[in-house]
Homo-oligomer: A and B are copies of this chain.
Amino acid sequence: MNEPCTSLAAGTVREAALAARSAADRLATTTGAQRDAALTAVAARLTDRVPDVLAANEKDLAAARAGGLPDAVLDRLTLGAAQIEALAAMVRDLADRPDPLGEVTHGAVMPSGLEVRQIRTPIGVVGMIYEGRPNVTVDAGVLCLKSGNAALLRGSSTARHTNAALIDAMREGIAGAGLPPDALQAVPGTTHASVHELMSLTGLVDVLIPRGGRELIRTTVRESAVPVIETGVGNCHVYVDEHADLDMALSILLNAKTQRPSVCNAAESLLVHAAVAPAFLPRALAALAGRNVTVHGDRRVRAYDPAVVAATDEDWGREYLSLDIAAAVVDSMEAAVNHIRLHGSGHTEAIVTDSQAAARRFVAALDTAVVAVNASTRLADGAELGLGTELGISTQKLHARGPMGLTALTTTKYVLTGDGHIRGASPAMPGLSCDVLEGPDPGAR
């Protein structure tokens, strides 16, 4: 473990965070053109350093093989030259996109003449904890750079040499473009203690984004003192209303379940209104069977097909991520809404209906990041919605909800401009100020 690899041995987590803070301060005053030039340089270095990255990847693969890790892990770990070139192309594409910073999100001139602007700024230092493939290292790093944030990356220990080689290449690009390389760092250490230290650095680290399985996300949410952006566990439902066009319902169901079953916006549950169950379920069950989908149904669904497996209570809350789907017949739209409230994960829920009234009620009643009316749950995706490169799908309610574009990596700053404006010189706008909420001023008596 004593390779001369800077990203593998860089002092304490706190030292890395302090260096990131300083780099973030520098990034905050860069122009979009400077950050785009750094992205272009990063893309060039990734291309130059393909052999080094492949060698590092081979080292990780050898260790994983020696450790007897399963083929699926080896497969996720493997990074080929073509994939690295594809990552470099993505980085060049990102450089061409509009700068998310500087947008005036609110502006007004107050009656006193005070000018008020709320402008989009970087968050600062973003910590990323992920289990996934090494390509997340590049994705996360360049999304942060584009949005003016310093990144502290903590990937899987099985991918550490690969990640370190990717980070070194990106740091060289950043430094070559005249920006501080500490804008992009691996979190030092490979133990859980270092992750816990990262979670405790309030004031130095502004946000943590866990990407990975349910357990990683839960642990981070539970243990982090640093604010967390929670990305999505999905238990998406397709509800076929009594007023549904059944051809449309079938097309949406098959797309939502089978077009890509392993992702969070795939459908995991089907609810069918009792009035259309006799017409819809025989066709739907046959079509699902034809695509090798195992249906876990309630008693009323099973009545249509003996091949349907009996659903247990657990099935209603499962995120299968496979060719399985839970299915139930419901007696009303309200029953469907109640089922989803009980079992949904707040990700994406779809209704198929031709009734305006039903669609309005379904949309209003469900507290979820995305509601799809006569559209597949699979469309809940940043690229599909025109948000540009996606950071993930947030199922939390604060800051960002649903598919997250680059703006999820920004915050805002109020800028007040006057010519000597002071408080009390002119009456405030109607409304209760913080002062009133806190009651009379003890210091004023």
Chain B, residue nearest A119 (CB): B363
Stretch touching chain B among A45-53, A301-309, A372-380: A372-380
Q: Is A196 an interface residue (CB 8 A)?
A: no
Instruction: Evaluate whether A418 and B375 lie within 8 angstroms (CB atoms) in the complex, with A412-B401, A441-B262 already known.
Output: yes
**What 0/1 pattern do residues 414 to 442 of A give for CB contact below 8 A with B?**
11111111111000111111111111011
CB pair A423–B28 under 8 Å, yes or no, is no
Query: Given B207, B227, B379, B428, which contacts A384 in the complex, CB threshold below 8 Å?
Result: B428
The complex places the Cα of A265 from the Cα of B433 at a distance, in Å, of: 12
How many copies are assembled?
A: 2
Given contacts A29-B364, A422-B259, contact A370 B207 (CB under 8 A): no
A392 within 8 A of B: yes
Chain B contacts for A379, CB-based, 8 A:
114, 416, 418, 421-423
Q: Check if B403 sits within 8 Å of A438, measured CB to CB.
A: no
Whether the Cβ atoms of B248 and A420 lie closer than 8 Å is yes
Q: Find chain B residues with CB under 8 A from A430 CB.
A: 93, 383, 388
Given A382-B431, A434-B392, A441-B262, A28–B365 Cβ distance below 8 Å?
A: yes
* A323 CB-CB contact with B under 8 Å: yes
C-alpha spacing A322/B441, complex, angstroms = 10
Task: Decide if A175 is an interface residue (CB 8 Å cutoff).
Answer: no
A58 near B: Cβ within 8 Å? no
A414-B380 in contact given A227-B396, A374-B420, A390-B432 (Cβ < 8 Å)? yes
How many A residues face the partner with a CB closer than 8 A? 116
What are 23 inter-chain pairs, A to B, with CB distance below 8 A?
Answer: A25-B365, A116-B386, A123-B397, A202-B221, A202-B222, A252-B422, A260-B444, A261-B441, A369-B413, A375-B421, A376-B423, A378-B424, A382-B434, A383-B436, A384-B423, A386-B429, A389-B431, A392-B434, A392-B437, A393-B434, A397-B411, A401-B411, A401-B414
Contact present for A399 and B401 (CB under 8 Å): no
Asked whether any CB of chain B lies closer than 8 Å to the CB of A85, the reply is no
A381, CB-defined interface residue at 8 Å: yes
Cβ contacts under 8 Å, A237 to chain B: none
With A375-B114, A382-B434, A392-B437 as known contacts, state yes or no: A368 contacts B421, CB within 8 Å: no
Interface string of A305-323 (1 = CB under 8 A from B): 0000000000000000111
Q: In chain B, what residue has the closest Cβ to A378?
A: B423
Closest to A79 in B: B439
